[in-house]
Amino acid sequence: MEKNNHSKVREFVFVGFPSTPLLQSLLFCIFLFIYILTLISNAVIIIVVRKVKQLHTPMYIFISALSVLEICYTTVTTPNLLLLFLTKMKTISFGGCMTQLYVFFSLGSSECLLLAVMAGDRYLAICNPLRYSSLMTSNFSLYLIFGCYLSGFTASIFTATFIASLPFCGLNLINHFFCDYPPLLKLSCTDTSTTEKVFFTLSWSIVLSTCLLTMGSYVCIVSTILRMPSSKGRGKAFSTCASHLTVVSLFYGTVIFMYVRPKAKYDLNTDKLVSMFYSVITPLLNPLIYSLRNQEVRKRTIMLYQFHCGFSSKQYFKVLKPQVSRRSANG
């Protein structure tokens, strides 16, 4: 009988954020605007870094790789949230739910690793500038990015496999807007202690280890900056690292709160709000922080825009000029 009950759960139903139809419509418009702005701002960084040769350096290659992750990261969750604002409830198949969970964790793990690599890049640039060019080449940075992606997607296989193997009984309402670990654990009708241990171990090994490496790098960076004789050099070094440190603080603060804690501390209503911040809001803040605080990216973006606008205008006038000449001759 127990086996038959377990086999009945073939799909899950998202609860989302129940509210009045007017508020749902308002939230849909707000988050649709955030999603579109997130895609555009991250895409602009990727295009600018790709098109401008002066930005073909490891630091900017890492920034564009982070933007790729952010586009994928928010696309896994935000469309689901938008559909929930339009409909009362939304269903997802068991396989679709596990796939969404796996991709979400894989992207999150990859981002943890990438942020640690970016901190290492800044450490080399500031603490060991004479050897930076020989150690951190553009090709090597691409290998590091590929390694972050590969490691993130490999590590998440274990978590997704353990959660997918859990038996789920008749109750299939997920108190969330996407398939996340805490609400799925609540729905399981068996002992989840082994799964919790595996997940907690992976969370500690990936999230906290990369966080400690990142913070350790910045301790060394700050101590090196403080020893710089030039105040202008100190200001430039602090400005370069401030944006990265802001992103790290936002990301790790919410992720540690969500996943590096025991099951007894889970509060699904609070978790939904926190999840919305790091899966929807943070992907928008990252490119804005980088573009607003990074003078080089901002300058190159304006130059690229002006170049394309100028080119379009020249092409337009080239076409327009012969037409004007013919009209004058005919007149």
Q: Is the pLDDT of residue 6 over 50?
A: no
Alpha helices in 176-229 (DSSP H): 181-187, 193-203, 209-226
Tokens read off for 83: 């559909």
Position 223, amino acid: S
Is the residue at 238 inside a domain?
yes
Maximum C-alpha span of the chain: 93
Is the residue at 43 inside a domain?
yes
C-alpha distances (whole Å) from 10 to each of 17, 38, 95, 168, 173 are 23, 33, 8, 9, 12
Is the residue at 139 inside a domain?
yes
pLDDT tier at 310 (50, 70, 90 boundaries)? low
Name the phi and psi angles at 188, rounded to 5: -70, 140
Is the residue at 328 inside a domain?
no
Is the residue at 170 inside a domain?
yes
Is the residue at 277 inside a domain?
yes
Domain with 140, as residue range(s), is: 2-293
pLDDT tier at 298 (50, 70, 90 boundaries)? low
Is the residue at 308 inside a domain?
no
Buried-exposed string 14-50: b where 16+ CB fall within 10 A, e elsewhere:
bbbbeeeeeebeebbeebeebbeebbebbebbbebbe
Question: In the predicted model, what is the mean pLDDT of the chain?
Answer: 80
Instruction: Identify the CATH number of the domain in which residue 155 sits.
Output: 1.20.1070.10
The reported pLDDT for the residue numbered 194 is 79
Tokens read off for 99: 């796939």
pLDDT in tens, 130-174: 888 888 988 899 999 999 999 999 988 988 888 888 888 767 888
Tokens read off for 312: 């379009």
The reported pLDDT for the residue numbered 2 is 42
pLDDT tier at 52 (50, 70, 90 boundaries)? confident
Number of domains in the chain: 1
The reported pLDDT for the residue numbered 266 is 63
Is the residue at 201 inside a domain?
yes
Please tell me which residue, 65 or 190, carries the higher pLDDT value.
65
Q: Is the pLDDT of residue 322 over 80?
A: no
